[in-house]
Amino acid sequence: MSTTTIRIPDDLKARVARLAEASGVSAHSFIVEAVAEHVSAAEARADFERLAQERWQDYQSTGLSVSIDDMLRYARDLAAGKDVAAPKARKLDAVPK
């Protein structure tokens, strides 16, 4: 495990110490957990953006999509506990570019 030194304002350090104590962990553990959560969130966001870009490129090359009406019907059926198949992508007339 490596060591990294960070400089944080005194007021932030006091807030970390107060919250760490209330959580029953050390300030070090609190900071490590906060960094790990932030890294996980940033990775999830990057994965989301990558997937969105892939899907946008796929749509641009195929023109296939699922209408909002089909998706809403599917979501309502799932919420109602129905065993339904996912809607099929198809070429739609009024999908914006």
Predicted confidence (pLDDT) per residue in 51-73, tens digit:
999 999 999 999 999 999 999 99
Domain map (residue ranges) of the chain: 10-90
Cα angle: 97, vertex 48, 58; to 5 degrees: 40
Residue 42 tokens read as 């940033």
Global confidence as pTM? 0.71
pLDDT score, position 93:
75
pLDDT score, position 8:
96
Predicted confidence (pLDDT) per residue in 7-53, tens digit:
999 999 999 999 999 999 999 999 999 999 999 999 999 999 999 99
Instruction: Report which secondary-structure segment, H or E, holds 58.
Output: helix 27-62
pLDDT score, position 10:
97
